[in-house]
Amino acid sequence: MMEVSEAVAAVLRETLPFESQAIPLLETLGLVLAEEVRADADSPPFDKSLVDGFAVRLADCATPLPVIETVAAGQVPTYVLDHAAAIQIMTGAPLPVGVEVVVPVEHTSQVIGTDGRPLVSVPSKVASWKLGTNILRRGASTKLGDLVVAAGSELRPQELGALAECGLARVTTRRRPRVAVLATGDELVSVEQTPGPGQIRNSNETMLCAQLLRACAEPVPLGIARDERAHLRERIDLGLQADVLVLSGGVSMGEKDLVPSELASAGVRQVFHKANVKPGKPIWFGVLDRGPNSRTMVFGLPGNPVSSMVCFELFVRPALRRMMGVSPAESVAVKARLTTPHTTKGERPTYQPARLEWRADGAIVTAVPWVGSSDLRATVAANSMALFPVGDQTYEAGRTIEVIAW
Ligand code: AMP
Ligand code: MG
């Protein structure tokens, strides 16, 4: 039986990163930029005012000034400031040539000149302001050709905005994996139904689809497959058209656990069956090879909901990351101090639902009480899984352990 690290390595060995392609900008949230992007222009593209106010020269501030023009954002000034005057200017408007500072409107007052013309009076202390006060110079934040977003960056809202500023309507990224989700089990009914005797609702499909959405993949729910060979096989064949097929249930030792044998008869090459992990020991992983660069990765997750959830995070998520070019593909554990003592009966390394919190002096973690791998409700209080290595042990409060955030 493989250790978790060996099993993850085996998954990643089989996973091919996708080719990159141009994708509409707003559809790339959460994906990874394949090629660096450099600025196609200076930003800002012209000297501009940072405030609503009056653009003046320092030497002219002693007396009230005539206002010769108003420039709003989006307009272009027509005057050059080469004599004692003021130009009214709005935030973001291009600066007229000759302007030295912009005095915010709230520091100025309107006065009427001897000839009845309106003038603007600015405080005398403005004469001692630094040149360029309230002005943002062309190229102050970015110069033409500067690196804006590096290759390999995860695309968050701020990267998308920066790419929009560079005029990229389409962005080169590796696409989202399409992932078919197939829940198996004669006991399952859909979420809308009231379970009859011996039945339960198919919660795994919704949970796994949500985990896929969170992982920036595209879920393709295939409904429920009965524990019956022909029906299961028909659904598996449908699922094998996706980049990844995730099944839940039917991978243990029961008579009705038909998933491994039906996957084999569909041509899926088994890579491993079972891993030394709790929950999730019966996990199955294989690959359908269609050609040198075309394959479907197949994960048979154990049906118990927490097993499905944990195995998705441990084994499926790294494969998705590798396909999309996220580095590192492996889950990254953080160190955190236990808040309360915890006793393990460790016949296998345990990934225990836990609550991770960040405090000024570091991360702390609390194991969430659960009655086992069917206890999905317990995970609602959790935001991570705490790793307890194999062995019967009591971990004292304050002991540092490894935790993987969900
Ligand atoms: P299995 O892995 O098929 O032996 O199922 C293990 C346990 O998980 C059983 O108690 C199943 O009823 C339960 N289970 C299987 N599939 C699902 C599902 N889609 N949603 C919720 N529970 C499930
Ligand atoms: Mg089953």
pLDDT in tens, 136-166: 999 999 999 999 999 999 999 999 999 999 9
Terminal-to-terminal C-alpha distance of the chain: 26
- 303 CB under 6 A from ligand 1? yes
The residue count of the chain comes to 406
* Atom 14 of ligand 1, nearest CA residue: 303
Q: Are 11 and 56 members of one domain?
A: no
What pLDDT is recorded for position 55? 98
304 lines ligand 1 (CB under 6 A): yes
The torsion defined by the Cα of 214, 219, 222 and 225, in degrees rounded to 10, comes to -40
> Looking at the domain assignment, is residue 329 inside a domain?
no
Give the model's pLDDT for residue 182. Answer: 98
Q: Say how far apart CA 99 and CA 212 lie, in whole Å.
A: 55
Selected residue with higher pLDDT from 344 and 239:
239
Our answer on whether the CB atom of 252 is closer than 6 Å to any ligand 1 atom is yes
* Domain presence at residue 86: yes
Q: Which two tokens stand for residue 28?
A: 């790339």
Please say which residue of 108, 136, 164 terminates a domain.
Answer: 136
Residue 113 lies in a domain: yes
10 plus 124 within the same structural domain: no
Q: Does residue 250 have its Cβ closer than 6 Å to ligand 1?
A: yes
Domain co-membership, 251 together with 364: no
Tell me, what CATH number does 130's domain have?
2.170.190.11
Q: Is the CB of 188 under 6 A from ligand 1?
A: yes
With a cut of 80, say whether residue 134 has pLDDT above it.
yes
Q: Domain check: are 249 and 156 in the same one?
A: no
- Is the domain of 297 the same as that of 355? no
Condensed to tens digits (0 to 9), the pLDDT of residues 289-347 reads 998 889 999 999 999 999 999 999 999 999 999 999 999 999 999 999 999 999 998 78
> Is the shortest distance between the CB of 80 and ligand 1 below 6 Å?
no
Q: Is the CB of 248 under 6 A from ligand 1?
A: yes
Same domain, 101 and 26: no
Closest Cα to atom 12, ligand 1: which residue?
Answer: 187
To test the pocket of ligand 1, the residue of 188, 207, 306 to mutate (highest count of ligand atoms within 8 Å of its CB) is 188
Query: Is the domain of 372 the same as that of 396?
Result: yes
* Residue numbers of the domain that contains 63: 48-136
Tell me, what DSSP letter sits at residue 7?
H
With the most atoms of ligand 1 within 8 angstroms of its CB, the residue from 304, 374, 379 to mutate is 304
Per-residue tokens: 324:
């999309």
Phi-psi group of 138: left, alpha or beta (phi > 0 → left; psi -120 to 50 → alpha; rest → beta): beta
Q: What is the pLDDT of residue 48?
A: 97
Longest pairwise C-alpha distance within the chain: 103
What pLDDT score does 24 carry?
A: 98
Residue 27, burial from CB neighbour count under 10 angstroms (0-12, 13-18, 19+): middle
Identify the band that residue 218 occupies on the pLDDT scale cut at 50, 70 and 90.
Answer: very high
Residue 392 lies in a domain: yes
- List the residue whose alpha carbon is closest to atom 23 of ligand 1: 303
Q: Is residue 193 part of a domain?
A: yes
Among 81, 116, 136, residue at a domain's last position: 136
CA of 249 to the centre of ligand 1 (A): 5
Residue 381 lies in a domain: yes
Q: How far is residue 370 CA from its own chain's centroid? A: 29
Q: Clarify whether residues 110 and 90 are in a common domain.
A: yes
Q: What is the pLDDT of residues 195-217, one digit of tens each?
A: 999 999 999 999 999 999 999 99
**Mean pLDDT for the chain overall:** 97
Instruction: Characterize the bridge pairing of strands 294-301 and 362-367.
Output: unpaired
Cβ of 53 below 6 Å from ligand 1: no
The closest-lying atom of ligand 1 relative to the alpha carbon of residue 251 is 2
Lowest mean pLDDT among 163-172, 259-268, 367-376: 367-376
Q: Strand 269-273 and strand 284-291: pairing?
A: antiparallel
**Domain identity same for 245 and 356:** no
Query: Same domain, yes or no, for 229 and 288?
Result: yes
Whether residue 231 is contained in a domain is answered as yes
Among 324, 344, 375, where does a domain finish?
Answer: 324
245 in a domain, yes or no?
Answer: yes
Domains identified in the chain, total number? 4
Helix, strand, coil shares of the chain, percent, nearest 5, are: 20, 35, 45
CATH code at 36?
A: 3.90.105.10
Q: How confident is the model at residue 241 (pLDDT cuts 50, 70, 90)?
A: very high
State how far the alpha carbon of 335 is from the alpha carbons of 220, 332, 356, 366, 378, in Å. 35, 10, 10, 13, 22
Regarding the beta carbon of 302 and ligand 1, being less than 6 Å apart is answered yes
In the predicted model, is pLDDT for residue 392 greater than 80?
yes
**For the domain that residue 179 is a member of, what is the CATH number?**
3.40.980.10
28-78 per-position pLDDT tens digit: 999 999 999 999 999 999 999 999 999 999 999 999 999 999 999 999 999
Same domain, 183 and 318: yes
Of ligand 1's listed atoms, the one at least distance from the Cα of 183 is: 19
Q: Are residues 180 and 288 in the same domain?
A: yes
